[in-house]
Every structure is written in C-alpha cells, then in structure tokens.
Amino acid sequence: MLQSRGEDAHLRYFLLNPDFRGIGLGKKLMDMFVNFAVECGYRSVYLWTTNEQEKASVIYKKYGFTLTEEKKSDTFGKSLMEQKYVLILESK
C-alpha cells in the first residue's frame, strides 16, 4: 500500500507470507514499488519498521534506504525501537 505525502510516498505495508519468502518475490515487489514511485515522480519514499525486522532492514538497505530516525515504542505490546527508513529518488 502506497500513501502519498505530496512529493514523498509512504510505503505503509510490505509483507510477505512466510510460505513465499526466499523465492525472489520480495525483490520483485520492491523493484515494482521503486519503479512505480519513480514513474509517479516522487522525490522520496519512506517506511517505518522495527529493530526486530532485521531481514527486512537488510532488503531496504540493499535498495538504498537509509535509517534516518529511531524512537522507543511500546505500541506493539513490548518495548522496541521503531525505525524510519528513507530512499531518495531524485537521482534515480
């Protein structure tokens, strides 16, 4: 799900059923998402995740997302760090 914030897009959900992980589907979806955002003329895209989503953060970093913000949270029923990742698209 993509939400627009003017020139910036917010990737709201990026989830894969565990049965479909490890077959390249996540890469394909991320390729499609980034291409779509570029074609739409967005300046950047961002997403929020948590420090527990280590495998996901590896994927985001491979695509050039940068960790820009962290904040303590207990929103998910336990203490953890929420993390904001941003990908600048202007030069892509």
Q: How far is CA 7 from CA 10, 37, 42, 73, 81, in A?
A: 10, 10, 5, 27, 27
Could you tell me which CATH class the domain 2-88 is placed in?
alpha beta
Q: Express each pLDDT in 31-61 by its tens digit.
A: 999 999 999 999 999 999 999 999 889 999 9
Count of alpha carbons within 13 Å of 31, Cβ hemisphere only?
5
pTM, to two decimals: 0.84
- Ranked by mean pLDDT, which of 20-24, 63-67, 87-91 comes out on top? 63-67
